Amino acid sequence: MGILEKIKEIEHEMARTQKNKATEYHLGLLKAKLAKLRTELMEGGKSGGGKGEGFDVMKSGDARVAMIGFPSVGKSTLLSTLTKTESVQAAYEFTTLTCIPGVIDYKDAKIQLLDLPGIIEGAAKGKGRGRQVIGVARTSDVILMMLDAGKAEIQKELLTQELDAVGIRINRRRPDIVLKKKKTGGVSITSTCGDLTHLDLHQARNILHLYKLHNVDVLVREDVTVDEFIDVIEGNRIYMRCLYVINKIDAIHLDEVDRLAHSPDTVVISCHDNLNLDYLLDKIWEYLDFIRVYTKPRGKRPDFTEPLILRNGASIEHVCHAIHREMYKNFKYALVWGTSAKHQPQRVGITHVCEDEDVVQIMTK
């Protein structure tokens, strides 16, 4: 029996198993077997033929944002509107057949925007070109999930399931579990958060044995679910920010637009009427969590034309690495002007944390 057949068999067994307290243990083991098979399926796909023609796009710029969505939701139109790249647009499905990159110039940053082919249900199992689409999405910093305003909720649910199946966890944080393998000593599971209400310890031990982890220390720091426990064991899950972009709001009632707009992690737009696109760019910037740092050469004015684009929380050490990877070795101190400085300028060390639009002058030995 092939992997797909095994996956299908387990999915059917899970579907016909009634969910209650008595079946929780059995369902947990089935989930672990399913996760293991899905990982085997994806890894098998990686070794057999690469990403496919049109999908091997080099990562460029300061960040990569991938648009995924069902066919004909407006991804190509949005790419052409926000960038100088022309992606083929038409009022029929499957217009885009390859991965098309464009560049958004925003707040002096260059953000690579990828228009991926319309994803379809069953993509995680390789249906259509879904596995290649999702493979590119895994390399991105933020996902834009493009949804049709008239079908937003069902499309969102289906796409989230597809991403979950290939180990992409959107708008969720990594479970607080520490797993340490050892040579001997058996399995030890310790919880620092009291009783676990979603995970049975006997069940956890059996899941570890399923993954051939017979000597391991597990420290659970929060009340996790079986799925979260399996994710930590798998170790290949990617936790990403996702912005739900609901297009075609010009075709639905204003009350429905208002309801959708107040959903978490959501921006409502109309590519056809150019509605709310500036706000979308602001949200992309927010989700990328960038700051701009301007450099000041000694004895000269600051360079406000090309800031360093860094992640929020970046220190002076990150600034040194961004200028030149060897600079930190000769670092003496830095002068900082901006909101992170207590006075203007402030003399700081290499661990000083910068804020957006700070000006930094690096002094070397």
Of residues 85 and 345, which shows the higher confidence score?
345
Q: Note the pLDDT of residue 96.
A: 42
105 beta partners: 110
Residue 199 has which token pair? 């995970």
Number of H helices, E strands in the chain: 10, 15
Q: Does residue 153 carry a pLDDT above 60?
A: yes
Does domain 292-364 sit in CATH 3.10.20.30?
Answer: yes
d(CA 309, CA 299): 23
Identical topology for domains 63-172+237-288 and 292-364: no
Structural contact between residues 193 and 220, judged by C-beta atoms closer than 8 angstroms: yes
Residue 85 has which token pair? 């790249």
Q: Note the pLDDT of residue 95.
A: 41
Report percent pLDDT > 90 for the chain: 56
| Secondary structure (DSSP) of 255-305 | HHHHHHHTSTTEEE-BTTTTBSHHHHHHHHHHHHTEEEEEE--TTS--EEE
pLDDT digits (tens, 9 = 90+) for 124-135: 555 555 566 667
CA angle 89/91/96 to nearest 5° reads: 40
pLDDT digits (tens, 9 = 90+) for 181-233: 999 999 999 999 888 888 888 889 999 999 999 999 999 999 999 999 999 99
CATH ID of 63-172+237-288, from 3.30.479.10, 3.40.50.300, 1.10.630.10, 2.40.110.10: 3.40.50.300
Structural contact between residues 321 and 328, judged by C-beta atoms closer than 8 angstroms: yes
> Is the N-terminal amide bond of 307 cis, ω within 30° of 0?
no
Which is it for the CA torsion 11, 12, 13, 19, positive or negative?
positive
pLDDT digits (tens, 9 = 90+) for 254-300: 999 999 999 999 999 999 999 999 999 999 999 999 999 999 998 89
Report percent pLDDT > 70 for the chain: 86
CB atoms < 10 A from the CB of 177, how many? Answer: 19
- Indicate the pTM of the whole model: 0.81
Q: Note the pLDDT of residue 339.
A: 96
Residue 188 has which token pair? 């030890």
d(CA 127, CA 129): 6
| CA end-to-end distance (rounded Å), the chain | 67
pLDDT digits (tens, 9 = 90+) for 349-358: 999 999 999 9
Cα 334 to Cα 62, 276, 319, distances in angstroms:
24, 40, 10
Q: What is the mean pLDDT of residues 139-161?
A: 93
Confidence of residue 7 (pLDDT cuts 50, 70, 90): confident
Q: Does residue 9 carry a pLDDT above 50?
A: yes
Q: Note the pLDDT of residue 47.
A: 43
Q: Does residue 55 carry a pLDDT above 60?
A: no
Spatial CA neighbour of 119 closest among 71, 50, 64: 71
Of residues 306 and 52, which shows the higher confidence score?
306
Domain spans in the chain, listed from the N-terminal domain onward: 3-48+175-234, 63-172+237-288, 292-364
Residue 65 has which token pair? 């944002």
pLDDT digits (tens, 9 = 90+) for 57-110: 667 889 999 998 888 898 889 998 998 776 554 443 344 446 788 899 999 999
Q: Note the pLDDT of residue 94.
A: 40
Calculate the CA 267 to chain-centre distance: 17
